[in-house]
Structure 1
Amino acid sequence: MTRFFGLRGNSLNIAAILGVLMPGILTTGYNASSLGGVLDLKNFEEQFPEIDLDTSANRSYASTIQGIVVAAYPIGVFFGTLSCIWLGDRFGRRRTIMAGSVIQAIGSVLMASACFLSMLIASRIVLGFGTGVLLATIPLWQSEISPANKRGAHVGMKGIFSGLGCALSLFLDYGMSFTRGSVSWRFPFAFVVLLSLAVLVFIIFLPESPRWLIRQGRIAEASEVLAALEDTSVDDESVQSQVRDVQTSLDLAGKKSLGQIFHMGPQKTFHRAMLAVAAMLFLQLTGSTVITFYTTAIFEKNLHLGNSTSTVLAAVYQLVGPIGGVFCVLKIEGLGRRVLLLGSAIGNAVCLALVAALGTQSDNPMAMRGAVFFIFLFHFSYIIGFGAIPYLYATEISPLHLRTTINSFSISSSWAVSILVTTVTPIAFNAMGQTYFVIFAGCNAAMVPLIYYLLPETSGRSLEEMDKIFALSGGVLDVVKVARLLPHGKPLDISSEKDGGLNFKRPELELREVHSP
């Protein structure tokens, strides 16, 4: 068979998006919503009576057990993403994605065949582990094979596919709810096997990350991949220039060690790691995780809507995600990452504050409709900024030699918070009702100044240009200014000293170049 299906240039990138990014991210959205859509099914409650809130003699205890069952999935995701710190660089992006898809398929089969509570919890951990591997690796792989001017749009499609995955899960749950017996929830759990197999099949025939290949010393193979991605020859200057930039970045970094994350060095590694972690933590603190895992329950138990209405609304709610995702893809390069994140945080804060205020008026039908409207509007607001950008940003902000490590560490940190949030949410809803959302409204409001002053713009920058931006920055608050003033497309300018050290030009001299005639 012809290598890469005989595809080159933009066609090869489209194949990567449709063959790997789409089914891989569909599974992350699907798995996040699949349990929420069956929690109130009669047969599911009969199979696992420990989490049935309606018939439990101790509602508080049942809420705690339900939180543990839901949290088992993010626990698995946490360990899956954390494992990529070692797996991603050792085995490469493609083989890591293959492993993640196989583990996810195994978890799906185990979950579909669960007969008692402990098996359900264990299967969700296995499922989450596989999903975590995919979540930590697929956006990273996509960012490393995409051209700089399209990287944001390509990885930004995560928001579209994640929303479609959530909607697919809930619509399938709704359709299967009309069937009898355990097939109503076992089939939806097993469905993710098909998506996992699609990822496994396509990634076999698609290219490895050229940056990982260069790091392994496989220069000729990396040049071939870059030439295929740009639809040019191996000897083309643009290909050779990219190879040189990656090699320069690796030379600057020196030998990789995990401890480098906690040191600044010439590439400001610790600073960049903390920004990647912050972006991913912001995502979890938006409140989206709460609504994604408990959408149906929020509509039914907190907004007092019927079961059938709640299930349909939950599915339609997830369809708002792709609409916001399309907006993100179209505007991410023009408006930039910062503008979308800022707009998203502000919109999230306003929507959740109104949901909290209106949702407490259970005897007012108009207030209930208003709460539903602002939950939908929140989802659009969330997706345009936080649906995909944090995953993209974590890869863009990280130096090559530690990109997998920082990316995996930041995502696993995010899911560690998700474990806490999903565990306490049933308890919090039971005690606080809709006022629980006030906490997340405050978190979103607090993000606005942090994003504005701390997160530099990465739009249109090559992954190697980000090395220079941080090297030229004098302090934590300086990097946003440097990113704004430094011209795009400037190659790394490193001069060797007598002692073999590496020096960048002084920041004040570099920035003066921007304003010189």
Structure 2
Amino acid sequence: MSHFLGLRGRRLNYVALLGVFMPTMMSMGYNLGSLGGVLTLERFEAQFPQLDVNHAHPSERHYKSTLQGTVVALYAVGGFLGAMVCIGWGDVIGRRRTIRIASVIQLIGAFLMASSFNISQLVASRVVLGLGCGGQLATVPIWQSEISPAKKRGAHVGTTGVFVGMGLTMALLVDLGMSFVHRSVSWRLPVALPILFSLPVITFTSRLPESPRWLIHRGRLPEAREVIASLRDTTTDNEMIEKEIEDVMSSLAIAGKGSFAQVFQMGHQRIFHRASLAVGGLVLLQLTGISCITFYSTTIFETHLHIHPVTSRILAAGYQLSGTIGGIVCVFTIEGFGRRPLLLLSAVANTICMILIAGLSSPATNNIGSHAAVVFMFLFHFSMTVGFGGIPFLYASEITPLSLRTTINGISSGIWWALSALAALVTPIAFNALAWKFYLIFTCLNATMIPIIYLLFPETAGLALEDIDELFIMSTGVLDTVRVARKLPHKSKDAPLQGDTDSEKSNGAPLRRCRSL
């Protein structure tokens, strides 16, 4: 019956996770870290002297720092544009097709960048590369969450931190190895490697299932039945499939047509409230300060902490690896502990690490202080990834109604990319102007996140995607959702839509309450 590579059930989910989600997130991490690692390479500086800050005359340093930040930030600008395109087209052409198109665009961007011989082509390639990655990031977490079982949804999408960390680590290790090569291949090969990430995504998405929720949304019920049967490893005539389809259609009826204007209206489903939480989670991720350090980790170690260039590259790779370890911790704890506790613990640890980094790096000539600051930078990346590495992307795909899921995730991803571009642009300037005081800004921001998360972000672990509609319908205000979420039963059993509705919902209880409102 199934034509999805002959796979069904759990095996089908694992292939989707490893064949599409993993290379997509690794490519995002790799792209975030690769250019920052080649900025100080001899052949790159010779090819693009406009970006050579290390050998610049003091009078030119500010200009070149600004230009360097702009070029790095253009990747995020492209990501913003890619996410915005998904708002209009993501729900029209489907999850899989959007992912494939975005992957092809990323492949083209990597090729253009690797073949750059002047600053203009480099600038254009950064935008194209970001355009593809932005489309992927706005769509892949949605697709993965919609085909994953409820009790595994958090762990599956939570692997974002693991795979992004793996990509970042790979980028810096490649940059380290190529730093010993004194030819143009030293930087051309590293920036060409995203081509290898795009190829498996393009291949697997052509053979793996479309989101059953999107198929139901588009009225393609026979295909939806086959996908659900494959994901559940059952037959298409199983009576539970009809009940699952009915629940999704009821959820769609409650949400309405899903027009863009609805995003800015509250309504009985509190859509604007939900959109604000989706955007807010990704904004908090950026405000941790992770992008500022990730983009320029090698430069921070070498230029601002005065560590030997080779050692700096090794430390930068180790720094990214600590994030991978944090992501693994998140995967194994996210369903047991829940989203809220991990976010709160992460915000507390981030605050402590940031203030210690600021204090230890303030005396620029203190080698012991600099080395201790490196330790707390590692701990910061670990703690940040445990809470914020994957949960904001998961949260944005969980709390949004099906009819507006792509639109709201496109907006959320677009704002995340816009802040990422801003971070890449201002970081070189801010470090030159503020030095260690720059970390104090993020100390305050991380501390502010603690009450925000505690008061505003409800727990979603164990809830079916359709049950989350009920959570917001039952809420009477912005501060009420956390209380309501505590009262809802958070199930651990697999739901019918490959775990997205629970065994109790098979009797129609939660959505019956929704339909009666």
TM-score (normalised: structure 2): 0.95
Shift in Å, 1:239: 2.5
Partner of 1:492: 510
Measure, in 2, the Cα distance between the counterparts of 1:295 and 1:238: 51
Equivalent in the alignment of 2:35: 35
Which residue matches 1:441?
Answer: 443
Shift of 1:41: 0.5
Following the alignment from structure 2 to structure 1, what is the Cα–Cα distance between the partners of residues 381 and 513? 48
Q: Deviations over 1:73-130 (max 9, x none)?
A: 1000111111111221010000000001000000000000111112111110000000
Displacement after TM superposition at 1:319 (Å): 0.9
Match runs of 1:283-322 below 5 Å: 283-322=285-324
CA distance in 2, matches of 1:22, 1:495: 38
CA–CA separation in structure 2 for the residues paired with 1:230 and 1:414: 34
- Cα deviation for residue 494 of structure 1 reads 4.1
1:152 and 1:428 mapped to 2: Cα distance? Answer: 36
Unaligned runs of 5+ in 1: 497-501, 505-517
Asked if 1:16 corresponds to 2:34, the answer is: no
Q: Is the 8 A contact 2:279 2:411 kept in 1?
A: yes
- Residues 315-464 of structure 1: pairs in structure 2 closer than 5 A: 315-464=317-466
Given residue 15 of structure 1, which amino acid in structure 2 is its aligned partner?
V
Distance in 1, matches of 2:280 and 2:354, equals 21
Identity, % of aligned positions: 54
d(CA) in 1 for partners of 2:511, 2:334: 28
Match of 1:46 in 2: 46
Q: Deviations over 1:400-429 (max 9, x none)?
A: 100000011011111111211211110000
Q: Secondary structure at the match of 2:188?
A: helix
Higher relative contact order, chain-length normalized (CA < 8 Å, sep 6+)? 2
The CA deviation string for residues 374-416 of structure 1, in whole angstroms up to 9 with x for no partner, is 0000010010011000000000010010000001101111111
Q: TM-score, normalised by structure 1?
A: 0.95
For structure 1, which segment, 237-246 or 84-93, has the greater mean C-alpha deviation from structure 2 after superposition? Answer: 237-246
Which amino acid is 2:29 matched to? Answer: G
Aligned AA (2:28):
T
Question: Bigger CA drift: 165-174 or 362-371?
Answer: 362-371
Q: Superposition pairs for residues 89-488 of structure 1, below 5 Å? A: 89-488=91-490
Helix, strand or coil for the counterpart of 2:267?
Answer: coil
Structure 1 residues 495 and 458, CA gap change in structure 2 (3 angstroms): closer
Give yes or no for contact 2:51–2:68 (8 Å, CA) kept in 1. Answer: yes
Contact 1:262 1:270 in 2 (8 A): yes
RMSD: 1.3
Number of residue pairs the alignment of both structures matches:
499
Deviations 1:193-244 (A, max 9, x none): 0110111011111000000000000112111111111111223344333211
Alpha-carbon displacement from aligned partner over 1:238-292 (angstroms, at most 9, x marks no partner) = 4333211110011112212100001011211000000101001001000000111
The letter of the residue matching 2:365 is D
Deviation track 1:324-346 (CA, whole Å, cap 9, x = no partner) reads 11110000000000000111111
Q: What is the match of residue 59 of structure 1? A: 61
Deviates more, 1:31-40 or 1:317-326: 317-326
Q: CA deviation at 1:495?
A: 6.9
**8 Å contact kept, 2:2–2:226:** no
Measure how far apart 1:447 and its partner are: 0.6
CA contact 1:276–1:394 (8 Å) conserved in 2: yes
Counterparts of 2:270 and 2:402 in 1: how far apart (Å)? 13
State the secondary structure of the residue aligned to 1:56: coil
Relative to 1, partners in 2 of residues 1:352 and 1:464: Cα closer, same or farther, differing over 3 Å?
A: same
What is the alpha-carbon distance in structure 2 between the residues aligned to residue 94 and residue 115 of structure 1?
A: 34
Structure 2, unpaired ranges of 5+: 491-501
Question: Are 1:50 and 1:56, in contact at CA under 8 Å, matched by a contact in 2?
Answer: no
Is contact 2:247–2:511 with CA below 8 Å preserved after alignment? no
